Chain A
Amino acid sequence: MLDQMADANPFLDPLRFERRAPPSAIVIFGANGDLTKRKLMPALYRLAYESRIPPAFAVIGNSRTNMSDDQFREKMHEALKEFLDDTPLEPALWESFARGLYYVAGDVSDPGFYQRLEAKLAAIQQARQTGGNVLFYLSTQPSYYQPIALGLGSAGLHKDTGWRRIVVEKPFGHDLESARELNRALHHVFTEQQIYRIDHYLGKETVQNILAFRFSNGIFEPLWNRRYISCVQITAAESIGVEGRGAYYQEAGALRDMIQNHLLQVMATIGMEPLPSFDADSVRDERAKFLRSIRVMKSDEVPLFAVPGQYGPARIGTEEVPGFRQEPGVDPRSRTDTYAALTLFVENWRWARVPFYVRTGKRLPKRITDIAIQFNTAPHSPFTRDDNDAGTRPNLLIIRIQPDEGISLRFLSKYPGSGMRLRPVSMDFNYGSSFGARSPSAYETLLLDAMIGDATLYTRQDMVEASWKVVQPILDAWSSQKSDLPCYPAGTWGPKESDEMLARQGHAWRVP
């Protein structure tokens, strides 16, 4: 038995224990930025609080600002005070966590910086026994991804006795070509197995629950195809505008910012084939296969199957809300899409001719992300139609990603009383009320996965390229258009052209 002890930890109890990270260090590039303060540091502290990272653990922050280790610790302490939810910031625990925080100032385009980083890593490895395992986390502007990867490679930091991995935040390129270029630069230094492309949507508990729902329940799979499903609607709506990110957002737009990455990954989770096993390769193979099956639009099809929009000024309640072009930092003639709706078809036997409607937008009536599976109506209703036409309403399966995470099945039921009046009713599963336990944040899940070496919820290069292939013709067509984008008043569900797009297929957007 002792021979085996060196390989696996014999003290583990998978029935009761949570997963834990191995001894390791995380180097965060862009540690002075918002993502580090709002998401990464709270997630790491929470993992430490739950004892899911070992004593042999360290975080090394980097940015150009000069700071000592202690100043960095103080800055992170302030960030935790502001952004830590659901978890007490206990002094003794913070003190223990803070001892593992370090900082190296430096410009990532300066080769000398990587020498200093190497020296710091060596010292930390000695002091904290991190075993040579390092996770490089790129939380910088995308333009720094290539110099950092190349800098790490030139200094030989991409390999050592322990494992070395790199986490890249979206966007993975600005278009198909730049995505390929970024990939070439990363692969120049790191192997695909070392690269973890993070899409925080895939780390959400409810997105993971789609897999559990589809592949551990026998009753839905027989219905999950073109014979029974009329259409699928995926909505990611935000009620806020660009909130001071106008300059960034007008370079991205809704299609790039949401659909190319998050929503196509969600769509793949809904539509992929059953998995042989729940491991990184199986899950990502199936997702990639699905993304490759999405029919790529020809340029003359774009106006029929894709609708951009831009929010205009409106009065919502008592509040005067500016239009996108009136937002600070936005070009008054900007043609950036703040709304995008697509009709996508999947070319395989399961989904042939079933439209997947995907929409996202800013300044819509409410913040919600959900997926509605609309089933075919009953082939014949023997009941007299009432005023609401309830007898012909289709069954809907609604998977709510946020807020109010859960699943609802809408079906028709007889209203009590004489006569046969039908009324839609909803059978609800609410994630929060069925499992009172706290759900880990997407970043807790994904950071732990990267440290453990589980890439199941990370995006692979072929998935990135397949999704860019889907959106590239649409981006090209929209950028070549001379006319203004359809405008929608802030606080509404998007331009009327979007409703017309669905009406052409005999469908209508549901109101979430």
Chain B
Amino acid sequence: MKINTLSQLSKLREDGAAVCQLRESGIGGGSTAEILVGMATCGVAAGGKQTFAALERALRNRGLSHVRLVKVGCIGSCYCEPTIQVNIPGQEPVFYGNVDEDAAIAIVDSHLLKGNVLESNRLQIGYEKAGLNSKGQKKQQRIALRNCGSVDPENIMDYIAFRGYEALGKVLAEGNPEAVVNSIKASGLRGRGGGGFSTGSKWQATAQQPTGEKYIICNADEGDPGAFMDRSILEGDPHSVLEALAIGGYATGANKGIIYIRAEYPLAIERLKIAIVQAEELGLLGKNILGSGFDFTVELRLGAGAFVCGEETALIHSVEGGRGEPTKKPPFPSISGYLKKPTTVNNVETLANIPPIILNGAGWFSGIGTEKSKGTKVFALVGKINNVGLVEVPMGTTLREIVYEIGGGIRNDRDFRAVQTGGPSGGVITKADLDTPIDYESLKEIGSMMGSGGMIVMDDSDCMVNIAKFYLGFTRDESCGKCTPCRIGTKRMHEILERITNGEGVPEDLVKLERLGNTIKISALCGLGQTAPNPVLSTLKYFQDEYKAHVIDHKCSTGSCKGLLRYRISEEACTGCRACVKVCPVNCIHLANKPAYRIDSAVCTRCGACLAACKFDAVIVE
């Protein structure tokens, strides 16, 4: 079947209206109950497949085979995966978390059979769903993630039911590419891939190039370790990206879209492939889309494990089949990109915002957020936080709201230490800045950056020097090696941090770190090197005392830096049982003051074996 006109598309949407209503509010949602099961990578990893199978069995055994089981993407509540949503016509949808096999059976028994919500697993989602949950002021607002968890990503009809491809239809019907660019510009949408450049302006730059071969590329490399917003969108709502690419292609004059996706995301790749086939079958991709005369195809290109390939020029070289080495800008890809042709590169989340902007208008979007940062931002909230998960909040939300209200505060009631935003390119935000409204400019001001949306929460057991070393180790490993400051500079910075965390640091090392860091920032060729020193510079700034403790007193207050630990046996507590002596791999425990033993610190490798072996708590670590 091919859709040739806008009205055919509307007809399909109307056919799906019931499904949509059932999932959004329960009201007017047809007659069939359904259970949505979160089956993104995260859900599957947590046991989603088993949950699905358990539900299937339970439904069958209880004669409830008419209840539809639907695989959906994830709702971002990582801390209580697997999650499901039970939709019964005429009733408000109910979410459940931590749905293992037992819970799945219990939910079928209680909720579907008896109509009693299983309160023990009930999950209150933190965002607005149209017509639902709107009683309380919710902190979250879902635009990019709007369909994640609501639509079956492998079924284009679901997407169409949720107004999918309507924006593309609208744009093609209006037939004014320039107006599309202007509207995106007016919306104030800025790139969510890290740079924060105006998406409309970028589109304009490509659009203004003479007509001819042009490309639009979706950057789905998502290399920031600990960030998974883009994966979630691609796994939960792949069509939104395809639709946006087509809109962008139309606006900029490109007839070919490319999605560059990391190979580490097999499920997302699979779902994108399915989505492309389905869209082509319906004629929503391909030749003469919706009878408009506009041709547009989308192709997938795989990464192969290189963080730097997220950088747009490196990405383009990788798409061309080469080493992912960045090249100097200018020229920018919008002038000379893939195959040296004008190319727009947009991030997944950026693109996911496009259809709603087209449908609801630039004014609607620019009404959300702060003066210079419009709309919402998705964050992957992880680390020492209770509600680990994906959150989408309007720009301007404060960190405190995210950490304490949405995130449910610090795990195990420990003390908040810092949040790292911007991943390996970003910096730490400390307690003092918890009330900073999150937007591009404010984060930059306090030495961090928006980045792609990783938000790592750390508590008082995390050593900031060690964290800085972790990030530097990452950038050193991921440096493409092309330019001097990054290739050798990050290596040297990491070596210094290694020395410091091994207890061999000297105060002068801090000066060197700062000098190296500040210089690499302004000398490196691409964004990777230019931001690589940030985690060190920002921790040096905010946790100077901690660094000093490492290089002057040779102490790590959190005990994270093994090289700085000292193992000692308390003479009072030691019974002379020799358990530790037997396990010490370097034989450095000797009889001292009978019966007590003593550790020869110069030889001790700090392996911790004696600590584990001593039944009398006589081994002390300092």
Do A and B come from the same complex?
no
Residues on A lying within 8 angstroms of B by beta carbon are none
